[in-house]
Amino acid sequence: MVFFSDRAVDFYTRLQPPAALPGGVSVMNPYENPETQRTVREFYQKFFADNEPRVPLLGINPGRFGGGVTGVSFTDPLRLRESCGIEHNLTGHAELSSQFVYAVVDAMGGAAAFYRRFYLGALYPLALVKDGKNFNYYDDSAVYAALKPHILASLRAQRDFGLSKTAVCLGQKNHQYWIQLNKEQPLFDRIEILEHPRFVMQYRRKQIGDYVEKYIKLLNG
């Protein structure tokens, strides 16, 4: 039997970035690293070895310190080991978005309980970098035009892992783009919205507890 985990691992480990992007933007593909391939396979086999539907929480594209290293969205090397119990030899920094997301994960009973119901991903599944900094797929119209077919294909593939028809979008601008994409390619019946974890950590750090509660209220609603 083919499980959610099999479909996810097959998708991620076969990802190929575009040949080139305009404006000096480059793509990080962590799945070229055999250690990342191993840890991604272990992660999905540990938490997704079934065919129960998950509600997707999709961000923009992975950050260079989180999914850009580990291959698991919103999961930096520290949380992959300490929160998910996946031992690895990956190196990297802590990521702000990962810190917030795993505050939510822990508050909802830990990784096993959370991933039994939810899936973390991104509209575009590979990290984008410009001048050594994170870059969002929508920051440049030419980059978005080049990536749009890949984003549409990514959404179809992730939906087919075994996602529910209700989704959660992380980020206001991300939501605007996803709504339009979903009109062109209807995959989800309803797309809820929450503040992006990076926004919370950069601009609302003193209210982290309030935003964790907001996430929990929506996800349990």
d(CA 208, CA 199): 11
Q: Name the residue range of residue 68's domain.
A: 4-219
Does the predicted TM-score (pTM) go above 0.95?
Answer: yes
| Cβ(63)–Cβ(95) below 8 Å | yes
DSSP state of 3: -
DSSP state of 207: G
Distance of CA 128 to the CA centre of its chain: 13
- Tokens representing residue 147 in the block: 């990536």
Burial letters 156-194, b for 16+ CB under 10 A, else e: ebbbebbbbeebbbbbeebbebbeebbeeeebbeebebb
DSSP state of 206: G
- Tokens representing residue 107 in the block: 């508050």
As for how many domains the chain has, the answer is: 1
d(CA 89, CA 76): 12
- Residue 19: what pLDDT? 84
The CATH number of whichever domain residue 208 belongs to comes to 3.40.470.10
Which residues partner with 121 through β-bridges? 58
Instruction: For the chain, list residues with pLDDT below 50.
Output: none
Whose CA is closest to 123, among 69, 188, 65, 78?
A: 188
- Residue 92: what pLDDT? 83
Whose CA is closest to 48, among 106, 103, 88, 2?
A: 2
- Residue 156: what pLDDT? 98
DSSP state of 163: B
- Residue 93: what pLDDT? 84
Phi/psi at 213 (5° precision): -65, -35
- Residue 148: what pLDDT? 98
DSSP state of 189: S
* pLDDT tens digit sequence for 36-68: 999 999 999 999 999 999 999 999 999 999 999
Distance of CA 180 to the CA centre of its chain: 19
